[in-house]
DNA sequence: AGGTTAATCGAACGAATGTTCGGCTGTCAA
DNA sequence: TTGACAGCCGAACATTCGTTCGATTAACCT
């Protein structure tokens, strides 16, 4: 072959570039970066990396990194033997916490929780709730509702008299909305910092 | 003006797109996405978003998101009554979820919580703990400790007999390490997904 | 040695890119 | 009402994009 396979090295430089700019350069610039004089060489490289699963083409024909693009060498991890199940399985395919918690940024809002009416559901004062804006919710979901002009975080429930909002704290009473119940959004995640 | 300022809405759609593809579309595609018929409108929008600090241009003239692009609006819970749509006005600050939770990536580990020994501290089975690797901890901190070769998440405490690990669940007994107590790290954050 | 194949070069090409400028329209303040 | 102005349209434009194809080079195989 013309050369030992330097694709891994090339990939590394692309990863560095993307880390710096959150964007991939054009073929011309890639060639410059990697020391290639022709764009056709870059084109071939891109084909190889695409085949290997590191790059892909968006529906509108733009070059974009795949999830695998962000994989790091296992050697970097240096895991002590017997580490408790690291959260890789939980985070599954997400590369960042942000992506894990917020799949649809435009319809999600972060809301700081005030009060202790939900402590028994593991939601404390000062926690941050990830709320997906919706006007409907299922029973049993934790929702941000607007009751008498005030925002409140409770579990959505219903009995024979209609909908009601359940706190998760023995010291609080369920709320029965007087005039209509308006749902602001549904809680889909929780963030806490110690 | 020709229109109320919809830039925030436009930004949201760009964020959604980038979340899906890790790449920004061309002006033509942006226009399609946002319902603009002319690329010049997109060009103007990009200028506005660049001025506002959400976008930037790489050294080789490619459009790229900035760090601020990934910030999320954080609303406080007791927002004054008003139209639900007006809630965006009540944003107090903005933060990036990753930086907020993981200030020191190289020394932090995500660990999935197993069991219910800490439920009364609002830590449930299946939650993900953000753990900062350290070999020492202060009393009262929640730590990942290694006891008899097993990893466990508990509060660090001490009495006249020495160190002990406190569960936060009435059904569990405190653990008194037999031979030495090894600290793996300290819990600094919590992530939960519903 | 001869043959094969992978990686690159160099040049040419049509398609797509982002910029620019004049004109239109709806909103706001005076 | 009038004027200013922000947002958008539409078209023209030079630049840059990524693709393609034939030729060249170097490692590997038999």
C1' of nucleotide D6: residue with nearest CA: B1
* Mean pLDDT for chain B overall: 89
Asked if B98 reaches chain A (Cβ–Cβ under 8 Å), the answer is yes
Q: A94 lies in a domain?
A: no
Domains held by chain B: number: 2
The verdict on B92 and B115 lying in the same domain is: no
- At A164, give phi and psi (nearest 5°): -150, 165
Residue B94 has pLDDT above 80, yes or no: yes
Which residues, other chains included, contact B128 with Cβ-Cβ below 8 Å and sequence gap of 6+?
A87, A90, A91, B110, B111, B112, B113, B190, B191, B192
Q: In this structure, are strands A142-147 and A150-159 parallel, antiparallel, or unpaired? A: antiparallel
Q: What size, in residues, is chain A?
A: 194
* Mean pLDDT for chain A overall: 88
Residue B160 has pLDDT above 50, yes or no: yes
Is any atom of nucleic acid chain C found less than 7 Å from the CB of residue B28? yes
- Mean pLDDT value of segment B83-97: 60
The verdict on A156 and A105 lying in the same domain is: yes
Instruction: Dump pLDDT digits (tens) for B29-57.
Output: 999 999 999 999 999 999 999 999 999 99
What pLDDT was estimated at residue A87? 63
Q: A89 lies in a domain?
A: no
- In Å, what is the CA distance from A115 to each residue of A108, A145, B76, B87? 22, 15, 12, 19
Name the CA dihedral angle for B14, B18, B21, B26, rounded to a multiple of 10 degrees. Answer: 50
For residue B114, the domain's CATH number is: 2.10.109.10
**Residue at which a domain ends, from A20, A50, A70:** A70
The verdict on B41 and B79 lying in the same domain is: yes
- Mean pLDDT value of segment B138-156: 92
Residue with more model confidence, A177 or B191: B191
Instruction: Dump pLDDT digits (tens) for B96-111.
Output: 999 999 989 889 999 9
Name the B residues in 28-57 with CB < 8 Å from any A CB.
Answer: 29
Q: A95 lies in a domain?
A: no
Asked if A77 reaches chain B (Cβ–Cβ under 8 Å), the answer is no
Residue B170 has pLDDT above 70, yes or no: yes
Which secondary-structure segment (H or E) carries B185? strand B182-193
The verdict on B87 and B141 lying in the same domain is: no
- Domain membership of residue B75 as a residue range: 7-99
What pLDDT was estimated at residue B87? 44
Reported confidence tier of residue A85, pLDDT bands at 50, 70, 90: low
Q: How many CB pairs under 8 A join A and B?
A: 186
Tokens representing B73 are: 């609006």
Q: Quote the percentage of chain A above a pLDDT of 70.
A: 88
Instruction: Dump pLDDT digits (tens) for A103-121.
Output: 999 999 999 999 999 999 9
Reported confidence tier of residue B92, pLDDT bands at 50, 70, 90: low
Q: A111 lies in a domain?
A: yes
Mutate to test the interface with A, among B58, B70, B151 (most CBs of A within 10 A): B58
User: Chain B residue with minimal CA distance to A143?
Assistant: B194
The verdict on B13 and B95 lying in the same domain is: yes
- Mean pLDDT value of segment B157-165: 93
Which residues, other chains included, contact A123 with Cβ-Cβ below 8 Å and sequence gap of 6+?
A113, A129, A142, A153, A168, A190, B122
Angstrom distance (rounded) from CA B166 to CA B162: 13
Angstrom distance (rounded) from CA A98 to CA A110: 12
The verdict on B116 and B84 lying in the same domain is: no
Reported confidence tier of residue B148, pLDDT bands at 50, 70, 90: confident
Give the residue among A28, A47, A26, A46 at the shortest CA–CA distance from A36.
A28
Q: B1 lies in a domain?
A: no
**Residue at which a domain ends, from B68, B99, B130:** B99
The verdict on A48 and A123 lying in the same domain is: no
Helices (H), B38-168: 39-51, 97-101
């Amino acid at each position: 072959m013309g050369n030992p396979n330097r694709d891994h090295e090339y990939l590394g430089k692309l990863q560095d570039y993307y880390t710096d700019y959150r964007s991939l350069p054009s073929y011309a610039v890639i060639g410059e970066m990697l020391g290639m004089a022709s764009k056709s060489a870059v084109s071939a490289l891109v084909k190889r990396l695409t085949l290997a699963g590191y790059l892909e083409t968006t529906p509108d024909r733009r070059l974009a990194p795949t999830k695998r693009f962000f994989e790091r060498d296992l050697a970097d991890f240096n895991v002590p033997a017997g580490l408790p199940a690291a959260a890789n399985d939980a985070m599954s395919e997400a590369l960042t916490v942000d992506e894990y918690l917020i799949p649809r940024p435009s319809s999600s809002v972060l809301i700081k929780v005030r009060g202790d009416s939900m402590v028994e559901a593991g939601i404390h004062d000062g926690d941050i709730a990830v709320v997906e804006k919706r006007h409907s919710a299922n029973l049993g979901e934790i929702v941000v509702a607007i009751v008498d002009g005030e925002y409140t975080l409770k579990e959505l429930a219903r009995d024979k008299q209609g909908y009601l909002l359940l706190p998760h704290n023995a010291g609080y009473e369920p709320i029965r909305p007087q005039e209509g119940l308006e749902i602001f959004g549904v809680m889909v995640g929780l963030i806490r910092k110690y």
